[in-house]
């Protein structure tokens, strides 16, 4: 088992912590954070050893799971330089230059480092992924309900970047062109962002995110040659839509709408964090690249930096 420590705040994330502890390959030794009071009761329940400073924790573990705010560039760099495998949550202030800076350090340390792009491990997306074959056009609409938390939410670096990661996971082609438009309604930073990414193979992704809406919604459509697949990441539903073949009977549970057939895709209960931590653990055990490695991160943050340049502000 991999001796693992937790570094940072996990207030309100007890389900995530329980998912970590369910991973057979990980042995959670303890946790370290600057303000332990808010998590003390939960940590005691799970019988986690508490550390007052991170160096003491590092002496007893081989891997660290870094939560915000201890997942900033300096802390990740510090952990890697001390030869620890690291899972970290990218912060909204990360840039492509930050990611590039880490690459050489990781190569020298010979450790596994995985970034927390949660949607790639979403069970709805994973259930639908086998049906997404060479998508020609991807359309995403990702909106967050307006509230106090939206004031600190970056439309690009907290919302849209996850859709960029999903797109890059299904389109294996270089980028030809990026165009972007942004609108600010109530804040200095954009409240609504629309991005069009054109790829060298002819595929196109049209992504829209916004933080001013009456309810949370996140639907992504993948249009392929003969059908399209839709995923609803808020309702954990997925379905495939294709033209009706009059020579074939309708599939079980499918619905006929005009000349189209809508076939629901079975989705398991969502447990994206568990799958994410399993992926991290197995990358260490089997000495393979993490699912979200730094080559992927560089591509993702390069797109994000180009979007910042297009809308001529720093988000």
More confident: 310 or 48: 310
The chain-wide mean pLDDT, for the chain, equals 87
Question: How much is the average pLDDT of 218-224?
Answer: 98
86 upstream amide cis, omega within 30 of 0: no
| Answer CATH for 120-270+304-311 from 3.30.360.10, 1.10.3720.10, 3.40.30.10, 3.30.930.10 | 3.30.360.10
Nearest to 186, CA basis, from 164, 204, 210: 210
Choose the most confident range, by mean pLDDT, from 25-34, 154-163, 184-193, 245-254: 154-163
CA distance linking residue 143 with residue 147, whole number of Å: 12
Distance CA 145, CA 210 (A): 9
Least confident of 208-212, 215-219, 292-296: 292-296
Q: How confident is the model at residue 92 (pLDDT cuts 50, 70, 90)?
A: confident
For residues 89 and 110, the answer to whether their CB atoms sit within 8 Å is no
Structure tokens at 132: 């997404």
What is the mean predicted confidence (pLDDT) over 251-274?
A: 80
The pLDDT score that the predictor gives to residue 315 is 45
Q: How far is CA 246 from CA 188, 228, 239, in A?
A: 55, 19, 20
Residue 314's pLDDT band, with cuts at 50, 70 and 90, is very low
What is residue 10's predicted lDDT score, i.e. its pLDDT? Answer: 62
To which residue do tokens 């839709």 refer?
Answer: 230
Share of the chain above pLDDT 90, in %: 53
pTM of the full predicted structure? 0.85
Q: Taking residues 198-216, what's their average pLDDT?
A: 96
What is the pLDDT, as a whole number, of residue 42?
56
Architecture of domain 2-111: 3-Layer(aba) Sandwich (3.40)
The structural domains of the chain, with segments of one domain joined by +, span 2-111, 120-270+304-311
Q: List, in sequence order, every residue forming a beta bridge with 226; answer none if it has no partner.
A: none
Whole-angstrom Cα distance, residue 192 to residue 19?
33
Contact between residue 263 and residue 242 where contact means Cβ atoms under 8 Å apart: yes
89 vs 132 pLDDT, higher one: 132
C-alpha 90/C-alpha 154 separation (Å) is 13
């Amino acid at each position: 088992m991999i001796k693992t420590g937790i570094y940072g705040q996990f207030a309100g994330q007890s389900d995530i912590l329980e998912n970590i502890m369910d991973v057979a390959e990980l042995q959670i030794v303890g946790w370290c954070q600057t303000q332990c009071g808010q998590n003390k009761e939960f940590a005691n329940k799970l019988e986690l050893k508490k550390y007052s400073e991170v160096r003491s924790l590092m002496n007893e573990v081989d891997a660290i799971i870094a939560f915000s705010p201890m997942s900033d560039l300096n802390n990740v760099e510090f952990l890697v330089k001390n030869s620890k495998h690291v899972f970290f949550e990218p912060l909204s202030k990360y840039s492509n230059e930050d990611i590039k800076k880490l690459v050489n350090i990781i190569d020298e340390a010979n450790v596994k480092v995985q970034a927390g792009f949660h949607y790639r491990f979403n069970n709805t997306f994973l259930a639908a992924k086998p049906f997404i074959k060479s998508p020609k056009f991807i359309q995403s609409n990702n909106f967050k309900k307006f509230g106090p938390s939206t004031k600190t939410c970056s439309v690009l670096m907290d919302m849209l970047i996850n859709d960029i990661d999903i797109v890059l996971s299904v389109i294996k082609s270089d980028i030809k062109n990026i165009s972007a438009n942004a609108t600010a309604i109530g804040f200095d930073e954009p409240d609504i962002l629309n991005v069009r990414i054109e790829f060298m193979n002819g595929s196109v992704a049209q992504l829209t995110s916004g933080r001013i809406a009456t309810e949370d919604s996140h639907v992504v459509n993948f249009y392929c040659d003969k059908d399209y697949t839709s995923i609803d990441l808020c309702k954990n539903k997925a379905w495939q839509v294709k033209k009706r073949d009059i020579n074939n009977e309708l599939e079980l549970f499918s619905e006929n709408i005009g000349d189209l057939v809508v076939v629901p895709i079975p989705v398991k209960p969502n447990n994206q964090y568990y799958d994410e931590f399993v992926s991290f653990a197995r990358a260490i055990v089997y000495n393979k690249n993490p699912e979200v490695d730094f080559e992927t991160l560089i591509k993702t943050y390069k797109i994000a930096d180009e979007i910042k340049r297009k809308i001529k502000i720093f988000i």
